[in-house]
Structure formats: structure tokens, C-alpha cells
A and B are shown apart, each in its own frame.
Chain A
Amino acid sequence: MNAPVALASGQPAQFRDTRFTVPSIRCAGCIAKIERELPKLDGVERARVNFSAKRVAIHHSASLDDVDLTKALRAIGFEAQPVSENPLARDDADTRMILRAVAVAGFGMMNIMLLSISVWSGASGATRDLFHWLSAIIAIPVIAYAGRPFFASALMALRYGRTNMDVPISIGVLLATALSLYETATSGAHAYFESAVMLLFFLLCGRALDATMRTRTRAGIGALLGRIGKSASVFQPDGSCLRVSAEELQSGMLVLVAAGEALAADGVVEQGDGAVDNAMLTGETTPQTVGAGIEVHAGAINVLGPLHVRLTAVAGDTALAEIARLMDEAGQSRSLYVRIADRASQLYAPVVHSLAALAFIAWMLAGAGWHQSLVIAIAVLIITCPCAMGLAVPAAQVVASGALIKRGLLVKDGSALERLAEVDVALFDKTGTLTLGAPRPDISALDDTTRSIALGLTQASRHPLSQGLAEALISEGVKAAIVEEIEEQSGQGLTGRWEQAAVSIGQPQTAQDGMASELTVGDLHWTLRFNDPVRGDARQTIDRLQSLGIESRILSGDISQSVKRVASDLGVPAQAGASPQKKLALLEGLKADGHKPLMVGDGINDGPALAAAHASIAPSTASDASQQAADAVFIGEKLAPVAFAVTIARQTMRIVRQNFTFAIGYNILAIPLALFGMVTPLIAAIAMSVSSLVVVGNSLRLARSGKDET
């Protein structure tokens, strides 16, 4: 792919791999650029982009560290963050295990079906026995391998005295196999190997769909994760700096925080003036000016010059970790939620098992031998095995999550969709959720020339106001003017030269309300006011939710005045000045009243509330912890995906219920046949495939609903 870079001769080459998450990889050009440009850097052997996961794996010599590589990536235009060694590996292994089981079950099903069809079409005597034995030889290892996920889960449930969908499945499969073996050994007419393997195959398809949905959205969310400082440069006694990972930091250490770096622990600034972006902790967008003696927290991003920080709290003692603990505790209640498939099986399994037992007893009483009674009882179990039921839920949820991804919403798993469908109250955070959470300037005062100068000046800066201005200008289609000798003074602003005139942008000369910047070109000045606008479709979204029977409220940690203004604009009740604990208490109160609250928030102060709510959604600009706590993440400037998520979730549950009805309907038709001993393996196979196809077909209708409601 790329020509290897020649290494300095005689130098022992020591290579290591580092992974970076690079959210801005969007096209083939980005892949080509990264894979071609990076190896030109001395010490980089090769770079490989994983487009789906938005990650770059760099194979480089040990002389380069994370910081060098991050800089190199930024130099070619990509924001990157190092990530720890494949955090999704465990999930990945589960998915692979299921895919392998699907392949094995598929192989077994096809070959056994081949033999079974020969038997059904009239093979008899020695040929039939041979085919049954061949089927047994294929089926037993296949069932042992492909059935493991179900057997393991059923055992686990039984051990804790519970029942789930996997218990009736495991009993059905094992009994069908045992009966078939007995029939084969005694030269019987019917063997049910193909039913047992087919059942496993269809059910594994359902599991695979479920797993694919999880990994697909996790990759999307994982790409946005990882902005918390994972290491810090610690001053050594001799004055040099050493990179130390976050876990090994100790309070009392003096660290150097470069511009653009995130803090890895809490501390007090000792030297340097600048500003930190606390958006991750508070959701507040205005950078906080800091100087010697000011306290700064882990997760804050240094936006200006370098700071020397004396650490006061590390690892588990940081303010961030405290919130994480609250979130952990709040999230416990959610794990108690019982998914619809398991709720259905709690009703279904006892009915089916008692039916089978009744059939056995009735036939024994009627005078059929124990062999025939047992065959009939097992046939009842096979025909009622919840094959379509196993597919009913995942098929609908996968199609729904696909439709939602197209609309800019990533749902983490199926249980999230089930809970989203049940919400009846919506609580919104203000900053970053109802509003964009990023300062946007009023640029109406500028003409075309000054606009292009302003863009030329600000486009390279990492200051939030500069970024906001540059974004606003770019969205207006402004082309940047060539500004030379750009310099950024921390806390002051940017200066440069444009066609011999001195240009600058920075703090206004006179004090202004709120955020403002002053643009100077030669002797002329313009003042640009910044504000944090409410998302364009916030009103419509709240109205949509209202029409769905969901009442909205604002629950914000901000000061009451700005909250009141937004609340009266949108016409919803609001509560301001709520601490994370207070938000949590309010949610618990709502839940105690029997409500099922939906929490929409972004800041880490919303984290505990997001974890405690019945369902929760965070914008993709939210803090990492909030995204992890939320059930779903929406992308972009529009709030509409929130209302859309509820609509689709409710449609999904409707389809799931229809699927259950179909599945149970088929069983009701087939059970009498089974009870009267008329089910042959052929009928079992047809019933199973047709009901599965109907369920999958019905679920596909959800894909269309995404297009209808634009």
C-alpha cells in the first residue's frame, strides 16, 4: 500500500502500535491522505485507517510518542485522540463467536436438509437409516458448537431460579436431538435433526442481528469518545518533562498542560495565564479565564497558552470520578429492566411446557405406549419452539435502528428502543442540548472583505470564539483572505497582516454584555456579539413530543435568568440552578410517581440524571461520560431526532407485538396437529421457516417509516 520509509541505518528499530480515534475521517480522500502523508514522517512505518470505526492504527518507532503523532495528524488536518488498546475488543469477540455459530449452524442445516429431503421423498430401509445416521453425525457437533450461547444463558438463568427465552429453546433442542438419536438407533421413521439445527440457525440469525446493531452504533459512539486526558507531562526534578499515564499520577506533582490538551487530574494553576474550556464538566461554553491560584478540574481543556498545574486530586478523587460514581449507582436501576422477549417467555414457557406434559399424560391415559406418548410430547415442544419469537424482536429493532441512523440518531441497543417507546415525560438540559452549546456570532455588520479577513485570521485558531466565528463564516460561504504573520497571544487575541494593513481580533476595548470580540482592520473596528442560540427546531420538537403525549420541561444547572428566557421562548416550565444531585432527586421523584422520564442532556453534570432516567438521549457534542450514560446519541444541529426516536421506538414496539401475534398464531395452528400426533419433521420445518419469513418481512416495513416522516 505504502512504500516503507527507509530507517536511519544502524539504529535498532523498535516499533510499537498506537491507535487514534479520528472522528473527521469522512471520505476516500481522508484515508489516502492519512495513509500516504503519515509514513513520510521519520519513524512512522505505516498507518492503517479503519473507516467504520474512524480509527487510525499507526505502526511507529518507539522514539515517537502520542503527542508527536497527534501533532503530525493535526498538521495534515485531522483532530485525533489516542485511545487505549481496543476497548471494544470484548464486544467484538462476542459478535465473532455468534457469527461463527451462525456459519456452523448454516452449514449443518443445509447438509442435513439435503439428506432429510431424500428421506421425505421416499427413501426407506437401509438408505433411510444411513441418511439418519449421517444427519446425526453432522448434527451432534453442530448443535454442540452452535447451541452454546443458548445453553450457557439457559443454565445461568436456571441457576438463579429464573427463566428466559433460552430455557424453552435449550430444552426443545436437546429433547429433539435425544429423541432423533433414539429413533435413528432403533431404525425409526422420523428424525428431527433438521428441525433442531434449523431452529438454532434462525435463532442465531436473530442474535447476530442484535449484536451487529450494538457494534455498529458503538463504533459510531466510540469514535466520539476518548477526550478525557489519559496522560500528563510531569516535571522531573531536573526540569525535563516525562509523560505519565493518568493512573500513575500522584497529587503534589507539577504538570505542564499544553494548549489543546485535556487535564487528567484536578489541580491548582501555579504558573501561566490562560483559559480552560469546562464544557465537559459544566456544559458551560464560555471558556473560564484562569491564572495562578485558580482550581482546575480533570476533563477541562486548556484552550490558550501552556499552564503549570500542581495536582491536588488524582484518579478516583477527582470531581469527574465523583460524578462517575453517582452515574454508576444511578444506572443500577436500569439493569433491572426486563426486556419484552423475556417478559413474553415468562408467560410462554410455562404454557408450552405444561401443554407438552399434558399431551404426554393424555396419550398415556388413552393407551398409547410410553414411546408414542413421548414422541408426541416432544413434537409439541419442537413445533412450539419460539423460533419466530427469537427473531421477532431483534429483526424489528435492527431495521428501526438502521432507519434512525439515517436520521442522525445512534441507539445503543434494543433495550434502549423498548424503553424509549415507554417514556411519558421529557426533561431537557438547556446549554448544549436545547441550545447549540457553541457560541455563534452576529456577523451582519461585516461586509464581504472583512468577512474573508476574519475567516483568514480565525480559521487556524483553537479558541472557542474563533472556532464559532470561523464556522459561522464558512456556513455563509465566505472564502478566507490570505492573512500573514498570524500570531496568537493568550488571553488577548489574534494579530496578523493583510495587504499591508495590520489586522487583529480580540477582546473589545470597551466592556460588553456577554461574549463579544472586536475585529480591527487598519483603523476601523467592528464589534461582534456572540450568543448561544437555541437549536432551530427546538420549538417544533417540543410540539411533536406534546402531540405524542409527552410533556417537556427544562432542567438546567445554569443561572435562572438565561433559563427563564429560553423557557418562555419555548413555552415550557423550567427549573434552574439544579445540581447533579438535585437533578437525580427530581428524576427519582418522577419515577416514584409512576412516570417514565426521558432525559436529554449533554454536560457531565447531567450524567447521573441520564443514567437514572427511564431512557436518555445525548447530543454528539456531549461529554464522553454523558454519551456513555445515554441510551442514544444524536448528531448535528437539529433536535428533531429526539422526537423522531420516540415515534420510531413506538412503531417498533407495535411491529414487535404484531410479530409476536404472528408467531403465536402459527403455533396455535400447529399445536393441535402436534397434540394429535400428526406433526412430521416436514410439517415442523415448513411451519418454522414460514413463520420466520413472515416475521422478518413484517419488520422490514419499519425501514420505510424513516422516509415517510420527513
Chain B
Amino acid sequence: MSRKIERLINLTIALLATKRYLTKTEIFNSVDGYEGTAETKERMFERDKDDLRSLGIEIEVGSFDPLFNDEAGYKIKQEKYQFELGDISSTEVSLLSLAAEAWQEASFGDVAQRALVKLRSIGIPSDELSIPASVHKLNDGGQDLSLITKAIAHNQLLAFNYLDSHLGIKMRSVVPIALSTRNGFWYLSGVDQEIQEIRTFRVDRISGAIAASAGPKDFQTPAGFDPSTAFSESSTHDFALIDVRVGKASSLRALANSHLESRFSLLIASMAWPGCFCSRTS
């Protein structure tokens, strides 16, 4: 096992250090560990390339002289290999560290930790205590967040079974356009392919595995879609006047408060008992 690891590291170093493309022959001669028949070496090399790609290392293929039908050559571009965040200050490293720590024990916990190690490797000290925010953690979104975000980036089609409000399970086909977390739940918004309208799904109500496949070719995120407003309900609404026992229904009050603050206090002032306020219903 460690032979293979050494070979992968040495291959990375060789392809990074070279200014020009290296041919396979040059690689087999200089990187230790390629042994056996030409065919075996070839197969090893193909597998190694795939392995490095799966680690996110991009290998460029090119040739010395495009005019001649030369043997293909390989190299890794330093600027693609390394973390290019530009000039970065200690405050920014602190912000990113806090961002990574928000995932503690949640879906991207391990990944965020790895990102943090890379950040720290830049060698800029951070001082998280200087940032006036610490009481925030992301909740676990289960196994699917990575798949959903990839599907958003590549306009893929997601098919999953979804639990409807009557406990029926129906297969939905959705091209996802947004992922958000609100009130401790993760939500996926997307264009439901059956009705061609935007719908929002709570991720923990998806039952079973999500299948991703290539999405419609001409897919475009609907114009005017703003992920941050996907959660405010429809724009048409009525007002309800509700009697509430003193000191009770705290979550309902919070809802009313946030929408109609002035009206809320006005009504409270005029009707001291029982507490009376306006709430929005849709």
C-alpha cells in the first residue's frame, strides 16, 4: 500500500515540478515504482491518473509541439494545484475558521476540518476570539447535502421519494436550484419537472436514497428566483386578529412581532387584557 502512495506522491511532484509536458516514457523512467511489462505500466499509470483526479488534482494533457504528432505529455499546473484565495488577512482566516467550525458534528464536519487544515497551512495566524460571534452551529443535514450541492452546480436532475402531508410517498423529479437551512431544518428548492414550478422540500422528509442523473440540457434557473426569499410565504395574505392568553403562545407572538411590530404594540396598548395582536395567515 505504501508503495502505491509513494508512487502517487512522486508522480504529483514530478508533474508539478516540470515546466514542460512529460511523456509517459519520461514518467516511467523518472518516477520510481512503475514496473513490469509496458502494458502493466500503462495500466498502473492510467489508474494513478484517475486516483489523482479523484483527489481533485487536475492533470493537463498536451504535447511539446502541436505541429507534429508527438506523444502526449502530462503536467500539473501549480496555479490549479494550489489554494488560490489571493491576499488574505488574519481576520479573514479567523472568519473562515469559524465558518468551518460551524459544522462540528454535522454533515460536512470532516470536510470542513480538512479545509481548515489547508487554511492554516497558508501560515497566517488567526484569532477567532476577535470575531464577535461564536454561538452558532449548523445542524446535521444527513448524508445528502454533498450530492444536492453538486446537483445544483451541474444542473442535475434529482429523483427521490418524498413524504407528503398525508404520509403518502411519491416520487419527485426535481432540478435543484437552492439549498438552505432554516429553523434547524435543511430545505432543497428546485423546479419540479412534473409541474414545471418551483417547489421547496424539507431534506429530512426525503425517504430513501436520492438518485442524480443528467438534467435537461437547456435548463435555466427561473428568472427572479432569490434563494433568500424562497421561504417567505406567498405575497397575498390576510390579517387575523387573535386573542391570546397572557404569557402564552410565545411562538405565535414571535411571528406577529416580526411582521407587524407597530401594530402589535398598538393593539396591546389599547387592549390590556387579554393580550391581543395581529398575525399574518396565508
Q: Do A and B come from one complex?
A: no
Query: Which residue numbers of A lie inside 8 Å of B, CB to CB?
Result: none
